[in-house]
Amino acid sequence: MLVPVPELAPGTILGGFRIIQRLGQGGMGDVFLARQLSMDRNVALKILSPSLIRNDALIGKFRDEVRTLANLRHPNIVTAFDAGEVETFYYMAMAHVVGEDLGRMVERGCLLAEKRILHLFLQVSEALKYAWDEVKLIHHDIKPSNIMLDGKGNPVLLDFGLAGPLVRAGSPDDAARPGGTPLYISPEMLQKGSVPDFRSDMYSLGATMFCVATGRPPFPGDHINEILAKHRDEPVPDPRSLRKGLSEGTARLIQTMMAKSPHKRHKSWQELIDDFYRVSLGEEPKVRKHLGESHAARKAGRLARRKRRRKALTIAVVVVALIGLAAYIIHTRL
C-alpha cells in the first residue's frame, strides 16, 4: 500500500512549480496540477510516494527512466518535461492532457462505436510499438484510466513506465517487480520469476479494449485473489456475449491479445497493428482463432463448414436442374 504524498496546499512552490490542485493518485505516487514558472504553462506533476523514496535502487531507476521517457517523442505518449528532487520530494513534470480518460467514459455508460474503438486502440498499439522498438520499454499498467482522449479525440497513454518500479524488459529486477492493476494484469505478471516483455502490455491492452467495447472488465470480481485467479485460469469470455453486434474479427482480436500464454498472442506489435487494419476494413485477422476452442474443435468446425457449403451447392444444382426440367416440359407442351 502506497503512503500518500503529504498534502501540498495550492500556491506551494516546489522546484520551480507552483501547485494548483491535486488531481489524483497514480501507480507510484500522487499527481498534481501545477504551473511550471519558467515556461508559464500548466503541467501534471507526479510526486513519488514517501514509501518508495526509501529505496535507493528504485530512486536510481526512477532517474534513469525519466531521462529515457524525456527522449520519447510520440503523439500518443504523454510528454515528459522535467524531473528532480526538492528536500524529500522526487517529482516528474509531464504534459497536462485536458480531456476524459476511457475509464470515466466506461463509468458513465458510454460505449463507443466499434470502428472508433479499433482506431483508438490501433493508435495506442503504435505508441507501444514505438516505445518497445526504441528502448524496449514496457508500460506495465495499461488500463482504461491510463488512456486519455485529448481535445481532438486522440488517445494519449499516461503513466508510461511509471506504473511500478522502473525497469526495462529482461533486466534482473523485472521478474520481481510489482505493478499492474488486478482487473487488467497479465497472467505472466503473476508468475514468480517470470520476465514479462511487450506481450504483457499486449494482454493488458486487450483487457482494456474488452472493457471499453463491452462496458465491463473481462474478469470482474469482489476480491483481488478471485480476479487474479480468473486471469490465470479462466478462458476469456467472448465479448459478443456482452455486446450484440460486435464483429467476429474484433472478438478474435481481443481474445488473441488476451491468450493465457504469451506465445499464443501476436508475435510483435506490428503483427497486431496489421490485424487492426484488417479488422477495421471488415476483413478477418490473420491470427489463429483463440476463442477457447481446442485444435480438434477448430478442425471439426472447418469440416462442418465444408459440409454445409457442399450441401448448399448440391441444393443449388438440384434447383437449377428442376427449373430447367420445368422449362423444358412447358416448352414441349406448347
- Exposed (0-12), middle (13-18) or buried (19+): which is 50, by Cβ within 10 Å? middle
For cell 488512456, the residue is 147
State whether residue 164 is helix, strand or coil.
coil
Euclidean distance between CA atoms 29 and 47, whole angstroms: 6
Separation in Å, CA 202 to CA 30, 38, 141? 26, 38, 11
Euclidean distance between CA atoms 227 and 212, whole angstroms: 18
User: Of the residues 30, 141, 159, 201, which is catalytic?
Assistant: 141
Could you give the count of Cα atoms lying within 13 Å of 80 in the half-sphere of its Cβ?
21
Euclidean distance between CA atoms 124 and 154, whole angstroms: 9
**Measuring CA to CA, which residue among 197, 47, 52 is closest to residue 132?**
197
Euclidean distance between CA atoms 93 and 172, whole angstroms: 28
Answer yes or no: 141 catalytic.
Answer: yes
Q: Which three cell numbers stand for residue 257?
A: 491479445
* DSSP category for residue 82: E
Please report the DSSP string for 153-217 in residue order.
S-EEE-STT-SSS---TTSGGGGG-----GGG--GGGGSTT----HHHHHHHHHHHHHHHHHSS-
Euclidean distance between CA atoms 103 and 150, whole angstroms: 14
In our burial notation (b when 16+ CB lie closer than 10 A, e otherwise), range 159-177 reads: bbbbbbbbbbbeeeebeeb
Q: Which three cell numbers stand for residue 56?
A: 535507493
* DSSP category for residue 32: E
Catalytic residues: 141
